[in-house]
């Protein structure tokens, strides 16, 4: 019995700004989780700190609003301890690509089976609009007194170079498309990164909904006119991100190269959709290879004591014998 979207909502008061792109992402997550066919208790949402970080409180599943930049290690810990859980982590661009960058980079090395959704708004929202790592140099959103002095980093490209097995970009105002991406990400067996273009109308007046969608104000009439949308869908352009045969290194290289070029697009044309996907053993499978018990019972549920007496059921006698001297 699949959940309905409304069952996934909470009555916790939402305090995002009116018109925030975050709402679209929240809706997409609600829809994707509903579409998953799981129950509320089987899902655990994790987040960092920021406007984005509050998300789990509005999703009626187990929710963990953790620390700034640290959503990933928390989420990974939970998933590895109980692989039966569906684990989704959300966070901000400052959160994930700035302070959390060491985890961002090194998580690619593990391919833990979780989905990571980054709310990419170019600013530190909750601390009042300082430049985030994705804001380009020279740009001056209204929250900055002076143009941004730092270059942006390119999270999708970095992910591609860091072992990520599912790399996608969504747009918060294309909720259905984003929902599909999230579902694909969750169903991908491995680490899925979904960077979401998320307008922050309060602080970022450059990367706005209008900008992404090419809506301009007619100078004469002041009316809003549809121009050329910047955002376009990869799948509609005939782009195929999926590596069919991971053992075929040529194919891998080809798919990576085309994805690399796609990660470089910005400005007039901004691709959304899946950029790259490959099948690789996830971390759980790798652990199970070392430790066969892992495939059978999750650490969170592994029995280690007698429930009636409280006595340990673990026997270390063989080990102690190794150390025995008399």
Instruction: Return the residue of 36, 45, 49, 51 that touches ligand SF4, per CB under 6 A.
Output: 51
Pairing of strands 130-131, 123-124: antiparallel
**Smallest separation (angstroms) from ligand SF4 to the CB of 201:** 5
Q: 172 and 199 in contact (C-beta within 8 Å)?
A: yes
| 4 near another protein, rule: CB under 8 A | no
Q: Say how far residue 71 (Cα) sits from the centre of its chain.
A: 10
What is the dihedral sign for C-alpha 262, 91, 33, 108? positive
Q: Based on CB atoms, which residue is closest to another protein, 54 or 255?
A: 54
| 132 near ligand TPP, rule: CB under 6 A | yes
| 49 near ligand SF4, rule: CB under 6 A | no
| 163 near ligand SF4, rule: CB under 6 A | no
| 261 near a second copy, rule: CB under 8 A | yes
From residue 273 to residue 302, the character string flagging contacts with a second copy as x (rule: CB under 8 A) and all else as - is: -------x--x--xx--x------------
Q: 112 and 71 in contact (C-beta within 8 Å)?
A: no
Maximum Cα–Cα distance across the chain: 97
**Smallest separation (angstroms) from a second copy to the CB of 197:** 18
**CA distances from residue 9 to 14, 30, 66, 129, 280 in whole angstroms, order as listed:** 11, 7, 20, 28, 34
**Smallest separation (angstroms) from ligand SF4 to the CB of 97:** 15
Instruction: Return the residue of 151, 217, 240, 306 that touches a second copy, per CB under 8 A.
Output: 151
| 20 near ligand TPP, rule: CB under 6 A | no
Looking up tokens 């090395």 gives: 109
| 125 near ligand SF4, rule: CB under 6 A | yes
| Residues 49-78 within binding reach of ligand TPP (CB under 6 A) | 49-52, 68
| Residues 172-201 within binding reach of ligand SF4 (CB under 6 A) | 200-201
Strand (E) or helix (H) holding 230? none
Q: Based on CB atoms, which residue is closest to ligand SF4, 20 or 272?
A: 20
Alpha carbons 252 and 268: distance in angstroms, whole number: 28
CA dihedral 26→29→31→36, nearest 10 degrees, is -160
Q: Which two structure tokens, joined as six digits, stand for 63?
A: 């929710």
| 167 near ligand TPP, rule: CB under 6 A | no
Task: Encode burial over 240-261: b for 16+ CB neighbours within 10 A, e otherwise.
Answer: ebebeeeeeeeebeebbeebbe
| 124 near ligand TPP, rule: CB under 6 A | yes
What is the binding site for a second copy (CB under 8 A)? 69, 97-102, 104-106, 108-111, 133, 137, 146, 149-154, 157-158, 160-163, 253, 256-257, 260-261, 263-264, 280, 283, 286-287, 290
What is the binding site for ligand SF4 (CB under 6 A)? 16-17, 20, 22, 51, 121, 125, 200-203
């Amino acid at each position: 019995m699949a959940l309905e979207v409304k069952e996934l909502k909470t009555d916790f008061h939402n305090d995002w700004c009116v018109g925030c792109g975050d709402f679209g992402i929240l809706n997409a997550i609600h829809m994707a989780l509903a579409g998953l066919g799981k129950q509320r208790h089987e899902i655990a949402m994790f987040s960092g700190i920021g406007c984005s970080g509050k998300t789990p409180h509005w999703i009626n599943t187990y929710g963990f609003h953790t620390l700034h930049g640290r959503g990933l290690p928390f989420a990974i810990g939970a998933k590895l301890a109980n692989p039966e859980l569906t684990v989704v982590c959300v966070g901000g661009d400052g959160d994930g690509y700035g302070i959390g960058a060491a985890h961002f980079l090194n998580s690619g090395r593990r391919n833990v089976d979780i989905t990571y959704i980054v709310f990419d708004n170019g600013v530190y929202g909750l601390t009042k609009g300082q430049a985030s790592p994705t804001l380009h140099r020279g740009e001056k959103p209204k929250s900055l007194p002076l143009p941004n002095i730092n270059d942006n980093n390119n999270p999708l490209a970095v992910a591609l170079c860091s072992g990520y097995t599912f790399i996608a970009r969504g747009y918060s105002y294309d909720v259905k498309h984003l929902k599909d991406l999230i579902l694909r990400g969750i169903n991908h067996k491995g680490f899925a990164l979904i960077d979401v273009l998320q307008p922050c109308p309060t602080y970022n007046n450059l990367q706005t909904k209008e900008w992404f969608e090419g809506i301009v104000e007619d100078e004469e009439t002041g009316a809003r006119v549809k121009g050329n949308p910047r955002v376009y869908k990869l799948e509609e352009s005939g782009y195929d991100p999926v590596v069919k045969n991971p053992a075929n290194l040529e194919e891998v290289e080809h798919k990576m190269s085309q994805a690399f070029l796609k990660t470089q697009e910005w400005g007039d044309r901004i691709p959304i959709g899946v950029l790259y996907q490959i099948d690789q053993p996830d971390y759980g499978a790798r652990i199970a290879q070392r430790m066969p018990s892992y495939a059978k019972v999750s650490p969170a549920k592994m029995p280690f004591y007698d429930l009636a007496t409280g006595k340990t059921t673990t026997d270390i006698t063989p080990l102690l014998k190794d150390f025995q001297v008399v």
